[in-house]
């Protein structure tokens, strides 16, 4: 009996140890935290990690959307500023061109043909700029607006080339009109000198002054014709326009000096005619035409 009890006790202890080992083994392999639903610690960790990933992804998407919104707003602001700048640039040029066209129309000593040519040139520039302004207003990207605003300068160059060309052309036309008027007076003077000479009067001094006038007028006509050809050849694509403008302006200054000398010669002839007591009630020998549109240098 005693041996039986000892044996039974040993068997019970062995069973208890094996049972604990089994529970320990199951706990180490499955980590069941809630036997009622069978969720393991590993599952909970995985779920938690998935939730964190989802939250991070949502945050990234929200940040990306916010950045895109700010970028779009920045682009819209930049586009608005560029378009406004272009419109302002065009408005300034249109105002200047409209003023210029009025000055050409009101100029007294430009021929009708030259007025028509100059006015048409200005009107074409006004039409082109007005059309470009409409295009800029319809631009939808910064790249489009930037390219079109650049055209205001590259395709028209109003202040750098176009306006100086128009003004210089107007001055040349006025001086050519003045030269023609002076030549007409010179012809009348020659008639009077020839008459005096036929009457036996000493016309040596008068003829010398008249020859000087005619020589200067010939130089003036040749120079103005050459300068006008140079100016007519200047376009908004010209690269040597600065040299041309400098040369022509220098020539115009010289021509004004030539006209000043012609007026002096005519004044001396008037005095000589008075000395010879020649009636000249119908004779005007001092040219009064002066250019009304001056050449100016404008910045781009």
Q: Per-residue pLDDT tens for 32-70?
A: 455 545 557 777 777 777 777 777 777 777 666 666 677
Look at residue 54 in the predicted model and tell me its pLDDT: 77
- 23 versus 166: the higher-pLDDT residue is 166
CB 234 within 8 A of CB 165: yes
Domain hosting 209: range is 158-275
Domains: count for the chain: 2
Q: Are 132 and 170 in a shared domain?
A: no
Q: Are 184 and 260 in a shared domain?
A: yes
Helical H runs in 139-162?
A: 142-151
**For residue 34, what is the enclosing H or E element?**
strand 32-34
Judge whether residue 23 has pLDDT over 50. no
- Within 10 angstroms of residue 199's Cβ, the number of other Cβ atoms is 10
Helical H runs in the chain?
A: 2-30, 41-106, 112-138, 142-151, 163-198, 204-232, 241-275
Q: Are 99 and 122 in a shared domain?
A: yes
Look at residue 16 in the predicted model and tell me its pLDDT: 54
- 281 versus 251: the higher-pLDDT residue is 251
The rounded distance, in Å, linking the Cα atoms of 12 and 24 is 18
Counting residues of the chain whose pLDDT is more than 70, the rounded percentage is: 77
Two tokens at 156? 């028209």
Look at residue 284 in the predicted model and tell me its pLDDT: 53
Look at residue 57 in the predicted model and tell me its pLDDT: 77
Cα–Cα distances (Å) from 107 to 114, 117, 125, in that order, read: 11, 14, 20
- In a domain? residue 292: no
Sequence length of the chain is 300
Q: Which of 127, 155, 183 is the last residue of a domain?
A: 155
- In a domain? residue 54: no
Look at residue 58 in the predicted model and tell me its pLDDT: 73
Q: Are 252 and 221 in a shared domain?
A: yes
Look at residue 176 in the predicted model and tell me its pLDDT: 94
Q: Are 144 and 170 in a shared domain?
A: no
Two tokens at 280? 């000249």
């Amino acid at each position: 009996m005693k041996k039986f009890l000892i044996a039974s006790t040993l068997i019970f202890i062995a069973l208890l140890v094996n049972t604990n080992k089994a529970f320990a083994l199951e706990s180490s392999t499955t980590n069941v935290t809630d036997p009622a639903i069978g969720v393991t610690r590993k599952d909970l960790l995985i779920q938690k990690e998935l939730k964190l990933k989802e939250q991070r992804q949502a945050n990234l998407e929200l940040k990306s959307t916010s950045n895109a919104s700010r970028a779009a707003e920045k682009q819209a602001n930049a586009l608005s500023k560029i378009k406004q700048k272009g419109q302002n640039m065009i408005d300034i040029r249109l105002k200047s061109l409209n003023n210029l066209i009025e000055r050409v129309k009101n100029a007294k000593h430009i021929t009708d043909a030259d007025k028509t040519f100059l006015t048409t040139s200005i009107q074409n520039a006004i039409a082109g700029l007005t059309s470009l302004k409409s295009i800029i207003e319809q631009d939808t990207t910064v790249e489009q607006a930037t390219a079109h605003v650049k055209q205001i300068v590259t395709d028209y160059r109003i202040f750098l080339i176009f306006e100086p060309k128009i003004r210089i052309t107007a001055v040349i036309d006025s001086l050519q009109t003045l030269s023609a008027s002076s030549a007409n007076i010179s012809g009348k003077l020659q008639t009077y000198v020839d008459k005096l000479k036929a009457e036996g009067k000493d016309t040596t001094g008068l003829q010398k002054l008249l020859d000087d006038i005619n020589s200067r007028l010939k130089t003036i006509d040749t120079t103005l014709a050459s300068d006008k050809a140079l100016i007519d050849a200047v376009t908004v694509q010209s690269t040597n326009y600065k040299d041309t403008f400098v040369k022509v302006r220098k020539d115009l200054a010289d021509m004004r000096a030539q006209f000043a000398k012609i007026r002096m010669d005519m004044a001396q002839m008037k005095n000589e005619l008075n000395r010879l007591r020649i009636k000249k009630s119908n004779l005007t020998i001092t040219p009064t035409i002066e250019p009304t549109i001056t050449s100016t240098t404008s910045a781009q």
